Amino acid sequence: MIEYEGKAKQIIPTAEPDVAIQRFKDSATAFNGQKKAELEGKGEINAAMSAAAFLKLESAGISTHFMGLENARDMRIKRLKIVPLEVVVRNVVAGSLSKRLGLEEGVTLKFPIVETYFKRDDLGDPLVCDSHVFVLGICSEETLAELKTRALQVNSVLGPWFNEAGLTLVDFKLEFGFDESGELLLGDEVSPDTCRIWETESGRRLDKDVFRRDLGDPMVGYREVVDRLGITIGGEHA
């Protein structure tokens, strides 16, 4: 039984009420679902990469919803009440930051920046400032501050991990939620679907932008990312 069907993942209940299966699909979408494709192998790569990233983060003291891999595309997760914000961290100018502010893609930012977007497909996930978050009643001031702190902590763990593999973590999106005991945990996924990853030396794009911008076979880059990070498909490697 599928409880929730998203664009790239499904949520499947288990016998335990606080535990679910997050299944990574091969489906890819961009531009709020206007562009669609099936990319063979994407689900397994994203599951393996997310598992490895969550283990890496957990070992650095950052709590996540990750409980283990059931098989190559199914992840056991703690159920969360998701805070309806996409928390984006940026190290290098790309994507919507470049468009919105007229900055050149590829320029390294003086310091990592954190942005928040309201998760509302019908509004196209708008960028929201802190006052918007409070006016909308999305979360408390304390939670918002905590989300930003944690997002920067994630950046400081993932950034060096990527750098050592010859990769640059340009930007990424995170989602957080509260578990049944009220603890704030990192949820969702960490994969080339949700991160911009460039090969450091050449600047080659190894992420979903290849699909968004029709730059070739997206799976070539996705595979290169897991290979460089030493991640085995179907395994869990910190």
| Binding residues for ligand C5P (CB under 6 A) | 86, 88, 94-97, 125, 171-173, 194-196, 208
Using the minimum distance from each CB to ligand C5P, give the nearer residue, 19 or 30.
Answer: 30
Q: Which single residue brings its beta carbon nearest to ligand C5P?
A: 95
* DSSP category for residue 71: E
Q: Least Å distance between CB 133 and ligand C5P?
A: 17
What SS3 state is found at 233?
Answer: coil
**Cβ proximity of 218 and 38 under 8 Å:** no
For 199, the token pair is 């090969």
For residue 159, report the phi and psi dihedrals to the nearest 5 degrees: -55, -60
Q: Least Å distance between CB 15 and ligand C5P?
A: 31
Using the minimum distance from each CB to ligand C5P, give the nearer residue, 32 or 232.
Answer: 32
Using the minimum distance from each CB to ligand C5P, give the nearer residue, 40 or 121.
Answer: 121
Using the minimum distance from each CB to ligand C5P, give the nearer residue, 195 or 206.
Answer: 195
Q: Least Å distance between CB 182 and ligand C5P?
A: 26
Phi-psi domain of 95 (left: phi exceeds 0; alpha: psi -120 through 50; beta: other): left
**Cβ proximity of 134 and 141 under 8 Å:** yes
For 106, the token pair is 């590829």
Using the minimum distance from each CB to ligand C5P, give the nearer residue, 171 or 224.
Answer: 171
For 18, the token pair is 């606080």
Q: Least Å distance between CB 16 and ligand C5P?
A: 28
Using the minimum distance from each CB to ligand C5P, give the nearer residue, 9 or 78.
Answer: 9
Q: Least Å distance between CB 18 and ligand C5P?
A: 26
What SS3 state is found at 171?
Answer: strand
Using the minimum distance from each CB to ligand C5P, give the nearer residue, 120 or 183.
Answer: 120
Q: Least Å distance between CB 146 and ligand C5P?
A: 20
Q: Least Å distance between CB 88 and ligand C5P?
A: 5
Angle between helices 42-59 and 218-229 (to 10 degrees): 30
**Minimal CA–CA distance to 71: which of 236, 237, 238?**
236
**Minimal CA–CA distance to 115: which of 105, 104, 103, 126?**
126
Rg of the chain's alpha carbons, rounded to an integer? 17
